[in-house]
Amino acid sequence: MGNFEPIIVAFCCHYCAYTAADMAGSMRLSYPANVKIVRVPCTGKVDVQHILQAFQNGADGVYVAGCLEGDCHFKNGNTKAARRVIYAKKLLNEIGLEEERVEMLLMSAGMGERFAQTAFEITEKIRKLGPNPIKKAKKS
């Protein structure tokens, strides 16, 4: 498991986290290639179903990255997303997956550095958790 490279799906809001990721790009701030971004118009669009689907498909971690508290382009999509992430955590718990595998993050469009930094942190956290147990069972 020493060289386990997790696959992490990041649902990123077009108005903040996705822009922050582009910003990290223009600032050439490196972050782990493990993170794959799915662009959404608002984290309020992120469906628990898609979070589960990511895990079912083999993701080791998922995060939803929306705008800062109160900064949602659509008023409160980010707080709704945060509640759904909690719901997703409960579901994961119920089927025996670590709830830490899914997180909600907040950042603004200007936070290229924060995007890169959180990508590092989440990747490290998931690396410590080890592979998605579903995948492990699949392989064996």
Partner 1 sequence: MITAERKPMEEILDYISPFQRIILVGCNECVTVCAAGGRKEVGLLSSALQMAFMKDGKTLSVNEITLERQCDPEYVEELVAHISQADAVLSMACGCGVQEIAKRFPQKPVFPALNTKFMGASESQGVWSERCKGCGDCILGLTGGICPVARCSKRIMNGPCGGSTNGKCEISPDVDCAWYLIWERLKALGQEDKYEDIIEAKDWRPSWHGGPRKIIREDLVE
Partner 2 sequence: MTQKNNKILVIGGGIGGIRTALDLATAGRDVVLIDKAGSIGGLTTQLDRTFPTNNCDLCTLSPHLSESGRKERIELMGLTQLADIEGEAGSFKVTLVTKPRYIDMDKCTACGDCFEQFKECVQFTPGLDYRAPTCMRYPQAIPQAYSINIEKCTDIDKLTEICQADAIIPDDIEKKQEIEVGSIILATGADLFNPDVLDNFGGGTYPNVVTGLEYERIMSASGPTFGNLVRPSDNKQPLKIAWIQCVGSRSINTDKCEVSYCSSVCCMYALKEAIVTKERFQDDIETVIFYMDMRTSGKDYELYRMRAENEYGVKLVKSRPHSIMQDPATKNLSISYPLNGNSALQTDTFDMIVLSTGFRIPDETQKLAQKLGIEVNKHHFVKTSSFNPVETSRPGIFVCGIYESPKDIPETIVQASAAACMASEHLDILEKIPKIQDELPAERDVTNEETRIGVFICDCGFNIGGVINVKDLAKYAAKLPQVAISEVAGHGCSTDSMKHIQSVIKEQKLNRIVIGGCSPRTHEAKFQNIIRNAGLNKYLLEIANIRDQDTWVHKDHPDQASAKAGDLIRMAIAGVAKRRPLPDYLLPMNKNILVVGGGVSGMNAALNLAVNGFKVYLVEQAPELGGVAGKIRKTISGEDVQSYMADLIKKTVNQDLIEVITGATIVDHKGMTGMFTTGVQIAPRMYYRQIEHGITIMATGALPIQTDEYLLGKHEAVITQLELDAVIEDEPERVNSWENIVMIQCVGSRTKENPNCSRVCCQTAIKNALRILEIKPDVRIFILNRDIRTLGFHEDYYRKAREKGVIFARYEPENQPIVKKDGGLLTVTFKDQILGREIEVSADCLALSTGMAADDEATEDLAMIFHLNRTSDGHFLEDHIKLRPVDMSVPGFLVAGTAHSPKSIRESIAQAQAAAGRALTFLAADMINTGAGVARVDSKKCAACLICVRACPYDIPYINAEGYSEIDPAQCHGCGVCAAECPAKAIQLMQYEDDMISAKLNGLFGIGVE
Interface residues with partner 2 (CB under 8 A) are 7, 9, 14-16, 18-19, 21-22, 24-31, 33, 36-42, 44-47, 49-50, 53-54, 57-59, 70-77, 80, 84, 108-111, 116
CA distances from residue 23 to 7, 15, 18, 83, 138 in whole angstroms, order as listed: 22, 12, 9, 27, 37
134 binds partner 1, rule: CB under 8 A: yes
Phi, psi of 36 (to 5 degrees): -115, 130
Answer with the entry of partner 2, partner 1, none that 15 interacts with (C-beta below 5 to 8 A by kind).
partner 2
Contact 82, 44 (CB under 8 A): no
Answer with the entry of partner 1, partner 2, none that 91 interacts with (C-beta below 5 to 8 A by kind).
partner 1
